[in-house]
């Protein structure tokens, strides 16, 4: 098993202890830093959970310092009501954020979703991917069926491209939402069904995108 090494930057001892214990129980290797100086000394790591309210340095500032030397995904932790921090963080390229207080299960789900996204990003060597009659050209964001170009909307393309990163696997509506709309998007996942229906119509392949009832979708690809 591949253990992900997570850096938890958190100055509140009680929260830090709970996070370290909880994440270790989930199988992560956890390094704790109580301030910005310790955080920078703990690099490199594979994932960063960064509390923005730190005693020795501005959290956003620390975020930029970490980003300058590390490609590790970063989830920001903000106190309730710090809307400004949240927006700044996402604009600067944080991979996600959580608002205190948050549950461990929610956090782990977000860590897994971010890891999945960044892995697909790095592993995206297949610029031209062929799945049966369907061809996805990631350089031009163009989709062809049996050689004929299909005029997809950006969201339709995004959904197809995201599903195609792991053909055959069931991708949940939430994963699609996070991957295509972004984690900062709050809305009903029902709208995904509307886009998928339209995409199916355009592709003209009724069995290619399969709905897994109550869960999500998968691409059905004959091997």
Q: Residues interacting with Ca ion, by CB under 5 A?
A: 11, 51, 53
In the complex, the smallest distance separating the C-beta of residue 11 from Ca ion, rounded to whole angstroms, is 5
Q: Which is nearer to Ca ion, 16 or 30 (CB)?
A: 16
By beta carbon distance, the residue nearest Ca ion is: 53
Helix intervals (H) in 71-221: 83-92, 104-122, 154-164, 173-176, 190-203
Radius of gyration of the chain (CA): 20
Q: Minimum distance between the CB of residue 75 and Ca ion, rounded to whole angstroms?
A: 15
Toward Ca ion, which CB reaches closer, 51 or 175? 51
- In 3D, which of 75, 32, 83 has the Cα closest to residue 50? 75
Torsion angle, CA of 134/138/141/145, rounded to 10 degrees? -10
Q: For 20, phi and psi rounded to 5 degrees?
A: -60, -50
Which candidate, 208, 123, 220, places its Cα nearest to that of 165? 123
CB of 4 to Ca ion, least distance (A): 23
Cβ 53 to Ca ion shortest distance, Å:
4
Cβ proximity to Ca ion, 22 vs 132, nearer residue: 22
| Bridge partners of residue 9, in order along the sequence | 33, 50
Query: Minimum Å distance from CB 122 to Ca ion?
Result: 31
Whichever of 94 and 180 has its CB closer to Ca ion, that residue is 94
11 vs 137, beta carbon nearer Ca ion: 11
């Amino acid at each position: 098993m591949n253990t992900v090494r997570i850096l938890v930057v958190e100055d509140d001892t009680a929260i830090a202890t709970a996070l370290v214990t909880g994440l270790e129980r989930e199988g992560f290797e956890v390094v704790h830093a109580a301030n910005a100086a310790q955080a920078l000394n703990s690099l490199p790591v594979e994932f960063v959970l960064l509390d923005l309210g730190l005693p020795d340095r501005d959290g956003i500032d620390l975020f930029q310092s970490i980003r300058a030397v590390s490609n590790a995904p970063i989830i920001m932790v903000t106190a309730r009501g710090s809307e400004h921090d949240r927006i700044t963080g996402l604009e600067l390229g944080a991979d996600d954020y959580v608002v205190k207080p948050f549950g461990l299960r929610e956090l782990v789900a977000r860590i897994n979703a971010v890891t999945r996204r960044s892995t697909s990003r790095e592993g995206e060597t297949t610029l031209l991917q062929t799945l049966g009659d369907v061809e996805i050209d990631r350089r031009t964001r163009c989709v062809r069926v049996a050689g004929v170009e299909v005029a997809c909307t950006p969201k339709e393309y995004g959904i197809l491209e995201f599903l195609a990163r792991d053909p055959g696997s069931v991708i949940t509506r939430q994963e699609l939402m996070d991957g295509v709309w972004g984690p900062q998007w709050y809305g009903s996942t029902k709208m995904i069904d509307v886009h998928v229906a339209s995409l199916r119509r355009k592709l003209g392949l009724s069995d290619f995108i399969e709905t897994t009832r109550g869960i999500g979708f998968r691409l059905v690809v004959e091997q």
